[in-house]
């Protein structure tokens, strides 16, 4: 008889459902239970680099903003270093690079404050343009969706980015570019995520 490989199977995903807030953001569900909720401060007080705000909506196939989404963000600091033991280099005290936000129950808008990440060098030596990885869960989403937010004002770096370069269609590449504006002197990047339609956001199987 042949030998067995004996790998385990990954636990299959299930939707986060409409009440994801209870577990991951109980204050939004309407009650206080933990000493502190996690993920509300991405960069911490000591992070160097440009302070920015990121905002958007997640829009369904009917063109309506989804009002029960939870998003998580993962990013490097301004020097392109991740707060993780496998990435060489130091991050500032208090910089986590991870955040968790929910959409407003009435408008579907989400937003977070952070610092703009720097370019990141991959294990193969290739440099990726500054980006924030996003993970999106909600009722009706069976497996969390992964995408990346890139920055409008990094056109040269984006043009050389090896991940954007995998996307054949120029129109689809544009779905990953956050648009920059200013509000009260502070940069704001707009990143709407469309789940369906001609301008469907690029999602990654990664």
Residues 14-33 that bind Fe ion (CB under 5 A): 17
Measured between alpha carbons, how far is 74 from 153 in angstroms, rounded to an integer?
20
Token output for 22: 């209870």
Q: What is the DSSP letter of 174?
A: G
Which of 1, 4, 45, 85 binds other proteins (CB under 8 A)? It is 85
User: Across-strand partners of 39?
Assistant: none
**Least Å from the CB of residue 32 to other proteins:** 9
Residues 97-136 that bind other proteins (CB under 8 A): 97-98, 105, 120-126, 128, 131, 133, 135
Q: Is 102 left (phi over 0), alpha (psi -120 to 50) or beta?
A: beta
Which of 102, 141, 157, 178 binds other proteins (CB under 8 A)? It is 141
Token output for 28: 């939004």
| CB of 130 closer than 8 Å to CB of 89 | no
Window contacting other proteins (CB under 8 A); options: 48-56, 72-80, 106-114, 177-185: 72-80
Q: Which residue is nearest to Fe ion (CB)?
A: 17
12 binding partner (options Fe ion, other proteins, none; Cβ < 5 to 8 Å by kind):
other proteins
**Least Å from the CB of residue 11 to Fe ion:** 17
Which of 12, 156, 171, 182 binds other proteins (CB under 8 A)? It is 12
| CB of 174 closer than 8 Å to CB of 194 | no
Window contacting other proteins (CB under 8 A); options: 48-56, 107-115, 144-152, 179-187: 144-152
Measured between alpha carbons, how far is 98 from 72 in angstroms, rounded to an integer?
7
């Amino acid at each position: 008889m042949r030998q067995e490989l004996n790998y385990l199977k990954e636990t299959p995903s299930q939707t986060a459902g409409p009440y994801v807030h209870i577990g991951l953001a109980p204050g939004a569900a309407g009650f206080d239970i933990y000493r502190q909720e996690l993920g509300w401060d991405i960069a911490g007080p000591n992070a160097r680099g440009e302070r920015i705000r990121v905002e958007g909506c997640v829009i369904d196939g009917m063109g309506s903003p989804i009002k029960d989404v939870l998003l998580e963000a993962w990013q490097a600091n301004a020097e392109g270093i991740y707060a993780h033991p496998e990435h060489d280099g130091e991050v500032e005290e208090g910089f986590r690079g991870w955040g968790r936000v929910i959409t407003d129950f009435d408008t579907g808008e989400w937003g977070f404050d952070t610092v703009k990440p720097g370019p990141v060098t991959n294990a193969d030596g290739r440099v990726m343009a500054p980006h924030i990885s996003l993970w999106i869960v909600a009722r009706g989403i069976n497996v969390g969706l992964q995408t990346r937010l890139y920055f409008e004002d990094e056109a040269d770096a984006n043009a050389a980015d090896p991940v954007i370069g995998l996307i054949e269609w120029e129109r689809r590449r544009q779905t990953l570019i956050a648009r920059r504006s200013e509000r009260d002197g502070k940069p704001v990047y707009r990143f709407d995520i469309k789940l369906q339609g001609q301008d469907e956001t690029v999602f990654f199987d990664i």
